């Protein structure tokens, strides 16, 4: 993975309203000529500062995609979850935060008309899929990286957005859980097993492979195709 994982200079912090006058924080980057937007849903104790997801976001931006990396929990909730480890598995709560973020994005003049995709890691993948099931007209594509899509439960059968599940070849348990989820998905779907990669894709070259796969999927469904069928 490249050492430079900083996002572009046009990154800005935003605050998305949720229930009870509270907000969740996010980092949004809109490259010049961006045609689509990818929302990053983190899970299992991660945050918008995850170097792995920030790296993937950087690759998305190079593919004419805006990105928004969201903390699905408030700071108070994160403190509680650090001890209990319960909120990170509350898929209903996490998916509600993704839904709130998508609604907020639709109200933003700069990006409100863009197609939206969701990139979920770990339990964030289940949250992204559950949100996609609730908002079939708003979510145009989903990618799961080392995710737990199985935790989306019955919502899987209601997902309409094309869904790509990416798992590490050495992550045997998660491979099995993703295969179970694949059987329940009725949308366009694909699964890729990255050979030699563990759950976090920390091995040399593996996160680059994830980024390439994910960016290709989102570019296919979020970026406008010019005359002749070739992407920019």
Answer for the pair 146, 41: CB distance below 8 angstroms, yes or no.
no
pLDDT given for residue 52 in this prediction: 83
Residue 220 is predicted with a pLDDT of 94
Phi/psi at 27 (5° precision): -110, 120
pLDDT in tens, 103-121: 999 999 889 889 999 999 9
pLDDT at 3: 34
pLDDT at 44: 58
Segment 202-215, tens digit of pLDDT: 999 999 999 999 99
Phi, psi at 166, each rounded to 5° = -115, 125
Task: Kindly list the domain boundaries of the chain, sorted by start residue.
Answer: 12-222
Block means of pLDDT (10 residues each) for the chain, 232 residues, are: 45 89 92 93 72 89 93 82 78 94 93 94 94 97 96 97 98 96 97 95 94 95 64 42
* H or E segment to which residue 183 belongs: helix 172-184
What's 119's DSSP letter? E
pTM: 0.89
Into which CATH architecture does domain 12-222 fall? 3-Layer(aba) Sandwich (3.40)
Q: Which run of H or of E encompasses 14?
A: strand 12-17
């Amino acid at each position: 993975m490249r050492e430079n994982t900083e996002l572009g200079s046009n990154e800005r912090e935003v605050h998305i309203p949720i229930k009870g006058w509270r907000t969740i924080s996010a980092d949004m980057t809109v490259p010049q000529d961006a045609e689509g937007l990818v929302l990053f849903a983190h899970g299992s104790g991660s945050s918008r500062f995850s170097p792995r997801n920030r790296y993937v976001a950087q690759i998305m931006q190079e593919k004419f995609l805006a990105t928004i990396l969201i903390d699905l929990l408030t700071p108070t909730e994160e403190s509680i979850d650090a001890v209990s480890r319960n909120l990170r598995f509350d898929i209903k709560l996490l998916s509600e935060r993704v839904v709130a973020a998508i609604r907020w994005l639709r109200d933003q003049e700069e990006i409100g008309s863009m197609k939206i995709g969701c990139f979920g890691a770990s339990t964030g993948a289940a949250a992204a899929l559950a949100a996609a099931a609730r908002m079939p007209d708003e979510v145009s594509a989903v990618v799961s990286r080392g995710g737990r899509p199985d935790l989306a439960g019955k919502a899987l059968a209601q997902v309409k957005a094309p869904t790509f599940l990416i798992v590490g070849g050495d992550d045997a348990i998660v491979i099995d859980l993703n295969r179970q989820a694949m059987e329940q998905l009725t949308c366009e779907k694909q699964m890729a097993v990255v050979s030699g990669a563990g759950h976090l894709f920390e091995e040399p070259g593996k996160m680059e492979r994830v980024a390439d796969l994910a960016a290709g999927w989102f570019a296919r469904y979020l970026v406008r195709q010019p005359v002749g069928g070739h992407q920019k």
